[in-house]
């Protein structure tokens, strides 16, 4: 599929001008294929107007380029998808193809629910992807998915609140110790929360915000921060983990400078508090700026982004994003149809358009004109893109979701509720991870 055919399709308005598009673009130029088939795909619904428009254009383009393939779309919320997916695939159902958050896939490859999927199967090579992203799909030496988009979070703060609290609005916190100090000053001077802490149990938002703190202090759950992790040694029981938990304890218990609801808060609740002027700082996805302005355009001049603060050991962020997978419940006759769909999905332009506030998974996407258009249109996208350099993937093991979504947040809860001392909470977390590993032998 060449870029000229895509541009012509877009200029002609999508499906409303399908006849004109087909009259002016030859089937070969459009990239039409004769492959036939049918499959079910699950997706998280688009939220922002531009995401909705891009998804609609993508589906229309699929109808033209893959005319003999029927793609059935089913939409599930991010909060619901993982639990429903676990139940569905164990019963032989669920999607045949799905784009899943980077943390989830290895659980299903480890469980035997995914088909092998390598770059070569869709006309690409391993050099077309960030090694860290590609390795998030690698289980026991084989690839079971491809990165559709890569992203990291950045640090957002309200400059107006900074000014009112006596802080320089042009100077973000440089370190996590600064975050705690700023948070206390904001709370003491204004009575609102400084940092929007996220600590909900069994929710992916929590590890995405706590693990960068742990890593910044030099801690790790296993050896995931190493250049070539083996992911066999449990390292969570360390003084560095204790230091990261102490930071959280100081903000939540001692200073009370974060929301009292932090233990129940996901990113959604923190967003509401930020919108209401009750929270000054948060770790957020690049989409958050667009979401905030959609809800409250008057905040445009008050909100800015910076790099996530450093710790004593490093600056760190979760290397996130999503991967596309083919489940082994697909009929063999429909596998080629799924691969043709993925070829289009991995196209540099669609990689950009379908991850408008993220970054393309296919590195060729960084050379596509749509990447420059996104940079020009999305304020602060440069900060999240710059953070890719500091990204650390979650451990690529089938038990990663249980460890990150349950054991790590439980450790945080045990400390912040003072159910356990920091030392007891860290030891308990280590024992819980060991129990998870022991189940492998059962």
> Domain containing 182 — which CATH number?
3.40.190.10
> In terms of residue numbers, what domain contains 85?
33-151+319-392
Q: Are residues 258 and 197 both part of a single domain?
A: yes
Q: Are residues 411 and 281 both part of a single domain?
A: yes
Q: Are residues 347 and 311 both part of a single domain?
A: no
Distance CA 45, CA 62 (A): 18
Show which of 370, 392, 414 is a domain's final residue: 392
Distance CA 292, CA 318 (A): 22
pLDDT of residue 50: 86
Tokens of 294: 């959609």
HEC string of the chain equals CCHHHHHHHHHCCHHHHHHHHHHHCCHHHHCCCCCCEEEEEEECCCCCHHHHHHHHHHHHHHHHHCCCEEEEEEECCHHHHHHHHHHHHHCCCCCCEEEEECCCHHHHHHCCCECCECHHHHCCCHHHCCHHHHHCCEECCEEECEEEEEECCEEEEEHHHHHHCCCCCCCCCCEHHHHHHHHHHHHHHHCCEEECCCCCCCCCHHHHHHHHHHHHCCCCCCCCCCCCCCCCCCCCCCHHHHHHHHHHHHHHHHCCCCCCCHHHCCHHHHHHHHHCCCEEEEEECCHHHHHHHHHCHHHCCCEEEECCCECCCCECEECEEEEEEEECCCCHHHHHHHHHHHHHHCCHHHHHHCCCCCCECCHHHHHCHHHHHHHHHCCCHHHHHHHHHHEECCCCCCCHHHHHHHHHHHHHHHHHCCCCCHHHHHHHHHHHHHHHHHCCCC
User: Is residue 54 in some structural domain?
Assistant: yes
User: Is residue 16 in some structural domain?
Assistant: no
User: Is residue 22 in some structural domain?
Assistant: no
Q: Are residues 277 and 360 both part of a single domain?
A: no
pLDDT of residue 21: 38
Q: Are residues 127 and 141 both part of a single domain?
A: yes
Distance CA 299, CA 58 (A): 32
Contacts with 26 (C-beta within 8 Å, 6 or more apart), sequence order: none
User: Is residue 6 in some structural domain?
Assistant: no
User: Is residue 184 in some structural domain?
Assistant: yes
Q: Are residues 106 and 159 both part of a single domain?
A: no
Q: Are residues 323 and 313 both part of a single domain?
A: no
- Tens digit of each residue's pLDDT, the chain (442 residues): 343 344 444 444 433 433 343 333 333 345 678 899 999 999 999 888 888 999 999 999 999 999 999 999 999 998 899 999 999 999 999 999 999 998 899 899 999 999 999 999 999 999 999 888 898 898 888 999 999 999 899 999 999 999 999 999 999 999 999 999 999 999 999 999 999 999 999 888 999 999 999 999 999 999 999 988 899 999 999 999 999 999 999 999 999 999 999 999 999 999 999 999 999 999 998 778 878 888 999 998 999 999 999 999 999 999 989 999 999 999 999 999 999 999 999 999 999 999 888 899 999 999 998 898 888 888 888 888 899 889 998 998 989 999 999 999 999 999 999 999 999 999 999 999 999 999 987 6
Question: Model confidence over 239-256: pLDDT tens digits?
Answer: 999 999 999 999 999 999
Q: Are residues 299 and 247 both part of a single domain?
A: yes
pLDDT of residue 379: 81
Contacts with 265 (C-beta within 8 Å, 6 or more apart), sequence order: 196, 197, 198, 199, 200, 259, 273
Total count of domains within the chain: 2
pLDDT of residue 15: 37
Q: Are residues 292 and 187 both part of a single domain?
A: yes
pLDDT of residue 442: 63
Q: Are residues 328 and 272 both part of a single domain?
A: no
pLDDT of residue 171: 97
User: Is residue 417 in some structural domain?
Assistant: yes
Q: Are residues 263 and 403 both part of a single domain?
A: yes
User: Is residue 381 in some structural domain?
Assistant: yes
User: Is residue 288 in some structural domain?
Assistant: yes
Q: Are residues 268 and 242 both part of a single domain?
A: yes
């Amino acid at each position: 599929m060449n870029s000229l055919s895509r541009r012509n399709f877009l200029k002609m308005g999508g499906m409303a001008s399908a006849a004109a598009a087909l009259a002016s673009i030859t089937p070969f130029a459009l990239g039409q294929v004769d492959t036939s088939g049918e499959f079910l795909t699950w997706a998280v619904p688009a939220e922002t107007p531009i995401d909705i428009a891009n998804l609609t254009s993508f589906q229309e383009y699929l109808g033209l380029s893959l005319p003999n393939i029927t793609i059935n779309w089913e939409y599930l919320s991010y909060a619901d998808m993982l639990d429903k997916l676990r139940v569905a695939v164990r019963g032989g159902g669920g999607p045949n193809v799905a784009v899943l958050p980077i943390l989830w896939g290895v659980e299903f490859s480890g469980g035997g629910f995914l088909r092998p999927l390598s770059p070569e199967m869709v006309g690409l090579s391993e050099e077309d992807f960030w090694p860290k992203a590609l390795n998030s799909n690698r289980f026991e030496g084989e690839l079971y998915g491809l990165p559709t988009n890569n992203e990291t979070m950045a640090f957002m703060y309200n400059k107006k609140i900074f000014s009112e609290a006596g802080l320089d609005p042009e100077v973000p916190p440089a370190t996590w110790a600064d975050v705690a100090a700023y948070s206390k000053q904001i709370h003491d001077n204004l009575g609102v929360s400084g940092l929007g802490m996220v600590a909900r149990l069994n929710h992916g938002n929590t590890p995405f915000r706590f693990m960068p703190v742990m890593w910044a202090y030099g801690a790790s759950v296993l050896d995931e921060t190493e250049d070539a992790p083996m992911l066999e040694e449990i390292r969570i029981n360390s003084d560095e983990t204790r230091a990261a938990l102490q930071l959280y304890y100081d903000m939540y218990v001692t200073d009370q400078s974060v929301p009292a609801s932090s233990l129940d808060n996901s990113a959604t609740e923190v967003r509401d508090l930020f919108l209401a002027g009750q929270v000054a700082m948060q770790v957020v996805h690049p989409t958050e700026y667009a979401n905030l302005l959609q809800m409250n355009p008057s905040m445009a001049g008050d909100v800015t982004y910076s790099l996530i603060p450093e710790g004593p050991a490093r600056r760190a962020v979760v290397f996130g994003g999503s991967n596309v997978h083919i489940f082994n419940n697909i009929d063999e006759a429909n596998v080629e149809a799924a691969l043709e769909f993925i070829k289009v999905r991995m196209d540099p332009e669609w990689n950009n358009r379908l991850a408008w506030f993220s970054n393309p998974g296919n590195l060729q996407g960084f050379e596509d004109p749509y990447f420059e258009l996104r940079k020009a249109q999305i304020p602060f996208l440069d900060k999240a893109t710059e953070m890719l350099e500091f990204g650390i993937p979650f451990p690529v093991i089938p038990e990663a979701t249980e460890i990150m979504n349950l054991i790590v947040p439980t450790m945080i809860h045990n400390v912040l509720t003072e159910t356990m001392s920091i030392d007891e909470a860290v030891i308990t977390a280590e024992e819980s991870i060991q129990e998870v590993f022991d189940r492998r032998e059962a």
